[in-house]
Amino acid sequence: MFCYQCEQTTRTDGAGGCATTKGVCGKDETTADLQDLLIYQLKGIGQYSSRLHQLGTPDAAADTFILHALFTTLTNVNFNRARFVDMIADAVKVRDRVRATYEAATPGTPRLGGPAAFVPAASLPDLLNQAGIASVRAGLDLVGEDVVGLRALVLYGLKGVAAYATMPKCSARPAVKSAPAWPKRSTSWQASRPISACCSKKLSPSAA
């Protein structure tokens, strides 16, 4: 496990991130590794999805899945390891669909490599053995600290975008005719429906 995405990150004794069996936020190493694998798969979906956008035939359901999945990896949103195993399986279905759409639109085009070709293992222990390829610090010896840091900066920026894109759906604010001031945290609908509860629900890979 290695994670340094939030303000709770360990910064004592020269440590630049949480690299123990459990982070300061409470996320355990299994969940952290599964989240890394899910993000790696999102990169693979993005390889094909971005090409569909360039062709003018975007897959809206894939875009929604990417935003939702990114949001679930934010600190304290979802630490349910079983849920991430399910989402990893869902990501394969989404990737295969956008790949098929792209290949149908561009006959003869070679299949993409890297995350787009990743095949997750069928069992949890084997999945965890694959986590090294998806670690935040993967390839450090090859690309160096600066590239790893820039890569993380882009990723965490995208997670922030996903949070704002996902929150209006997750928070389930009541419909109103006019735009009121943003409600205070003590309002009943926020207290009764935390974002984490919403994002623990299953999102269909084909849902827009």
pLDDT in tens, 81-109: 888 899 999 999 999 999 999 999 999 98
Largest CA distance in the chain: 57
- The domain at 29-199 falls in which architecture? Up-down Bundle (1.20)
Q: What is the mean pLDDT of the chain?
A: 74
Token pair listed for 89 = 């399986």
Rounded average pLDDT over 117-144: 83
Q: What does the domain layout of the chain look like in residue ranges?
A: 29-199
Residue 22 phi, psi dihedral angles, 5° rounding: -150, 135
Give percent of the chain with pLDDT exceeding 70.
63
Q: What is the pLDDT of residue 194?
A: 39
Q: Of 29, 26, 27, 2, which is closest to residue 16 (Cα–Cα)?
A: 2
pTM (predicted TM-score): 0.66
**Is 50 exceeded by the pLDDT of residue 191?**
no
**Is 50 exceeded by the pLDDT of residue 198?**
no
Name 118's Cβ contacts closer than 8 Å, sequence gap at least 6.
40, 41, 44, 133
69, 92 in Cβ contact below 8 A?
A: no
